[in-house]
Structures are given as structure tokens and as C-alpha cells.
């Protein structure tokens, strides 16, 4: 799906992403994990073209991503951020249907698709015609996911999507989201710093530290054979409730 070759990025003197060569495979869900400032969000933002890489090439489905084609290619990516990133002046329905309407979809088709997605993400119908400020955080997140899914993208990119939610809401949404991705067979790349979430979602886990990929593989491999002290410390730092 994505194939990165020697991609790097610096902000001033700070190299936030060292030259990185990785592949993200079609149909697989990859979780990027690591502490704050490790470069995981930067990597995701480079993929959607919000940050231009200093060097290296990115192939998306075999096509190199460029400034010229990024806008077109983005319509094949679904991007979800914390709290949904919704437009406050539009209702949930309008948020989800904005791009499709702009691209000239028939209104009936837009309506049908939005309602299909509401069903899929278990968003209550009444919430569809409310504004973002009038619905709950969990519902906003569901709307954000619907908006990303609207054009049936080839890949879903999620930047700490559950970051702002309380545990109960988060739990339900995680369940639903995994079910959706499995049902649709979507390729997904998710950024999180939560091991539990990584374990729940990731077919493959990619751990980053100080701007580079430290280890990748299935989560069990990382737990059983951490390549270095850093990975071991990060894994062990996750607190499990004592009985």
C-alpha cells in the first residue's frame, strides 16, 4: 500500500524522522507506537502529505506521491484525528457528505451513503442533523470515522483517534472500529501510545524511538524478544491493574 524509501524529516536542527525504509501492506492493520516525540505522528502526517519529507520517496499503490498529485490521492485515504477534526459550522451529516457533494455526487446517493455509514459506526440517527458542538465526544469521533470512510478509501490513517475519550466510550468505540475494519477488510495505519490498543488493533506493530523504527513485528514478538532495552522498557512501562 505504502512503500517508503529513505524518507527523513528535520525541523531546524532536530531530526524528527531519521532516514526510514518501511512498507505498509495491503489488508493489514499496522500500529505505530512509541512515546511522545518519537516521530510516529510525523510519519503518519508525511503519508497524508501534511508534512513534506526532506528526502526519500513514497509510493502509494505503486505511484510516487508528489505535491501535484497529493490532493487527488488524498481522496483515496481516510484520515481521522483526535476528536474527529469536524467542521463546527456543518452538521454531522454535512461533515460526512461534504467532499462527496463537492465532487458532484447525487444528493440521494450522498444521503444513502451517510445513513449506511451511520448504521455501520452505530451513530444514532438523531445525531446526524446536529452540529459538532451539540453531540458527545464519542459521537464526534464516530462522525470523524464516517467522514473518512465516505469515499470508501483504500487506506485508513488514524492519529490517536481515541485520545480524548473516557475509558467506557473508548472501549465501545475500539470494539466497533475493529469490527468495521475487519468487515470492510480495510488497510489501516494507527498511531497510539497505548499498548492495549496496539494489541487490540495491530496485525503488526511498529515501535518508534527517537525518530527511527526500533523494532517491528507481531506484538507477541516484541514482548517476547525485545531487540533492545528501549523496547523492553516501553513494554514494561504499561501498568496492568493489580487485583
93 binds other proteins (CB under 8 A): no
Give the residue with the Cβ less far from other proteins, 52 or 203: 52
Cβ 26 to other proteins, closest distance in Å?
A: 20
239 binds other proteins (CB under 8 A): no
Interaction with other proteins in 8-67: which residues (CB under 8 A)? Answer: 48-50
Q: Give 66: exposed, middle or buried? Use CB within 10 Å, 0-12, 13-18, 19+.
A: exposed
Interaction with other proteins in 113-132: which residues (CB under 8 A)? Answer: 131-132
- Which grid coordinates are listed for 176? 466497533
Among 54-62, 97-105, 161-169, 193-201, the segment contacting other proteins (CB under 8 A): 97-105
Give the residue with the Cβ less far from other proteins, 90 or 169: 90
87 binds other proteins (CB under 8 A): yes
68 binds other proteins (CB under 8 A): no
Among 4-12, 33-41, 94-102, 190-198, the segment contacting other proteins (CB under 8 A): 94-102
Interaction with other proteins in 209-238: which residues (CB under 8 A)? Answer: none
Cβ 155 to other proteins, closest distance in Å?
A: 12
Q: Give 88: exposed, middle or buried? Use CB within 10 Å, 0-12, 13-18, 19+.
A: exposed
Contacting residues toward other proteins, per CB under 8 A: 48-50, 71-75, 77, 79, 81, 85-91, 98-99, 102, 131-134, 147
Amino acid at each position: 500500500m505504502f512503500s517508503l524509501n529513505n524518507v527523513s524529516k528535520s525541523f531546524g536542527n532536530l531530526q524528527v524522522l531519521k532516514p526510514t525504509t518501511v512498507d505498509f501492506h495491503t489488508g493489514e492493520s499496522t500500529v505505530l507506537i512509541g512515546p511522545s516525540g518519537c516521530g510516529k505522528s510525523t510519519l503518519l502526517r508525511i503519508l497524508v502529505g501534511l508534512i513534506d519529507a526532506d528526502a526519500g520517496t513514497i509510493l502509494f499503490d505503486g505511484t510516487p506521491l508528489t505535491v501535484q498529485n497529493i490532493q487527488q490521492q488524498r481522496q483515496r485515504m481516510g484520515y481521522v484525528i483526535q476528536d474527529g477534526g469536524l467542521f463546527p459550522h456543518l452538521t454531522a451529516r454535512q461533515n460526512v457528505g461534504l467532499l462527496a457533494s463537492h465532487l458532484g455526487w447525487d444528493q440521494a446517493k450522498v444521503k444513502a451513503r451517510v445513513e449506511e455509514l451511520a448504521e455501520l459506526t452505530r451513530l444514532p440517527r438523531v445525531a446526524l442533523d446536529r452540529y459538532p458542538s451539540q453531540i458527545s465526544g464519542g459521537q464526534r469521533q464516530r462522525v470523524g470515522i464516517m467522514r473518512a470512510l465516505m469515499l470508501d478509501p483504500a487506506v485508513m490513517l488514524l492519529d490517536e483517534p481515541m485520545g480524548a475519550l473516557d475509558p467506557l466510550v473508548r472501549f465501545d468505540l475500539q470494539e466497533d472500529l475493529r469490527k468495521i475494519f475487519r468487515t470492510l477488510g480495510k488497510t489501516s495505519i494507527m498511531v497510539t501510545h497505548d499498548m492495549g490498543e496496539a494489541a487490540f488493533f495491530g496485525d503488526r506493530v511498529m515501535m518508534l524511538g527517537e525518530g527511527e523504527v526500533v523494532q517491528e513485528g507481531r506484538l507477541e514478538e516484541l514482548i517476547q524478544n525485545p531487540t533492545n532495552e528501549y523496547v523492553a522498557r516501553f513494554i514494561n512501562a504499561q501498568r496492568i491493574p493489580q487485583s
